[in-house]
Structure 1
Amino acid sequence: MRIWPRVIDGVGVLRGIEANIKNQQGEIDCSGPMLDALDLIVAGFHEPVYAPRDKAHHTEAMIATMASGLVHIISHPGNPKFPVDIRAIAEAAAHYDVALEINNSSFTHSRPGSEPNCRAIAEAVRDAGGRLAFGSDSHTAFTLGDFEHCLHITREVDFPQDRVLNVTPRRLLDFLEQRTGKHIAEFADF
């Protein structure tokens, strides 16, 4: 990862991963030197690494992942294949200072049925005093940075935009520095 420049054509490049939550103990499938080299750790449930079970198991695993201190963002927690206790995960996210992602592709093709869960997550995180992160999950350049549905949901529930991590580069960088203690000198002007 050290060979990739930190800034390419004026765009800052974070070193990150979307890891898998592996089990109920909240372990993720990234550790050691690899984990230490990363700036941003996102984790979530993905089949077949973690097969869908029931709400209690999913909630316990997600909260344990947040409690580990290794993860900055939980990806697509509104996935209806992995139901969770929304209030419990929102309160845990606020307590452990982990953002919950509102994933734009969940509203279109990736995870049908996510919209009511994402709305409830935005409301619960708002009420718990936590943070959200927007994700395009585009997998293609055509929808990279498309947060139309995320913005709609957060406006609909009157979510404070100052608690959305990646509305500005500086907000996300400040959050990561506060969480990790790592300062990325090349991003000083962002």
Structure 2
Amino acid sequence: MKFLADLHIHTISSGHAYSTVLENARAAADKGLEMIAITDHGPAMPGGPHIYHFGNLRILPEELFGVRILKGVEANIIDRAGTLDLPADRLAPLDIVLAGLHTICSPCGSVEENTEMLVNAIKNPWVDVIVHPGNPEYLIDAEAVVKAAVEYDVAIEINNSSLKLSRAGSRPYCEKILALAKEYKAKIIVGTDSHFALSIGNFSEAIALLEKYEIDPSAILNTSIASVESHLARRSNRKRQKV
């Protein structure tokens, strides 16, 4: 299975990552990737970038070292209404919006409350991808979340880092989500969640999971640049005048 894009990548602007945009782009080029997304954490994350950071992403070039650069965010879901930590006028100009539940930023509740929080975020018209939904810190009704993702045409991420380094105990929950995504034909994105350049393009743990569940490569958006572009173009915010 060949991946052409890595759509979940952090830089030093996230406060707890260790590579620059240039270093990330060079690493992606060395791995043969055609596209990356710069998705630093939203401002609710301790040590994360100020809101101005996201407005100024427009200064980044469209391409570095032959790799297309998408300007995005990994927004924090900050309440049970699914509110993100960036307002609409900051989300509108971005190429890609990831959203996820994070310690400190997101209230942790019952399965029902956590599910409601994620489903409400999925309903947000700016959200393109829900990241690491298999996080065991936030137990959810996985079937309800996957069905909502299908209904609102939002992709579900299989997070390689969750299977290897971070969010210990995620694997069984990721497996359940992947099986449900296959059953309901949800869109899937595989992300490295890279916090250091050398991990960009390393999808090894996720690939093993995809093979275990016999997921067709065509179901994975970032095996095709055209599929990524089609997904990101589907919402009205891609057609609005940028602010």
Q: TM-score, normalised by structure 1?
A: 0.91
Residue pair 2:92, 2:238 contacting (<8 A) in 1 also: no
2:95 maps to which of 39, 52, 63: 39
1:143 maps to which of 189, 196, 199: 199
- CA RMSD after TM alignment: 1.4
Could you say which structure has the greater relative contact order, defined with CA pairs below 8 angstroms and 6 or more residues apart?
Answer: 2
Residue pair 1:44, 1:77 contacting (<8 A) in 2 also: yes
Residue pair 2:79, 2:107 contacting (<8 A) in 1 also: no
Q: Unpaired segments of 5 or more residues in structure 2? A: 1-56
Give the percent of matched residue pairs that are identical in Structure 1 and Structure 2.
33
4+ long deviations beyond 3 Å: 180-183
Residue pair 2:134, 2:170 contacting (<8 A) in 1 also: yes
Moved more, 53-62 or 151-160: 151-160
Residue 117 of structure 1: aligned partner: 173
Q: Secondary structure at the match of 1:19?
A: strand
Q: Secondary structure at the match of 1:13?
A: strand
- CA distance in 1 between counterparts of 2:81 and 2:112 reads 13
Instruction: Provide, for residues 136-161 of structure 1, a one-character-per-residue CA deviation record: whole Å limited to 9, x for no partner.
Output: 01200111111111111111112232
Instruction: Provide, for residues 87-143 of structure 1, a one-character-per-residue CA deviation record: whole Å limited to 9, x for no partner.
Output: 111111111111111100111121111111111101101111111111101200111
Q: Secondary structure at the match of 1:15?
A: strand
What is the deviation of 1:181?
6.5
Moved more, 5-14 or 168-177: 168-177
Q: Unpaired segments of 5 or more residues in structure 1? A: 184-190
Residue 79 of structure 1: aligned partner: 135
Moved more, 155-164 or 92-101: 155-164
Residue pair 1:73, 1:100 contacting (<8 A) in 2 also: yes
Q: 1:91 to 1:145 in 2, by over 3 A?
A: same
Residue pair 2:194, 2:200 contacting (<8 A) in 1 also: yes
Which AA in structure 1 matches 2:181?
V
Which AA in structure 2 matches 1:28?
L
Residue pair 2:92, 2:237 contacting (<8 A) in 1 also: no
Residues 1:50 and 2:106 aligned together: yes
- CA distance in 2 between counterparts of 1:12 and 1:128 reads 31
Residue 89 of structure 1: aligned partner: 145
Q: Secondary structure at the match of 1:134?
A: strand
Residue pair 1:104, 1:148 contacting (<8 A) in 2 also: yes
What is the deviation of 1:33?
2.4
Q: TM-score, normalised by structure 2?
A: 0.72
- CA distance in 2 between counterparts of 1:93 and 1:32 reads 20
Residue pair 1:20, 1:46 contacting (<8 A) in 2 also: yes
Q: Secondary structure at the match of 1:81?
A: coil
Q: 1:20 to 1:5 in 2, by over 3 A?
A: same
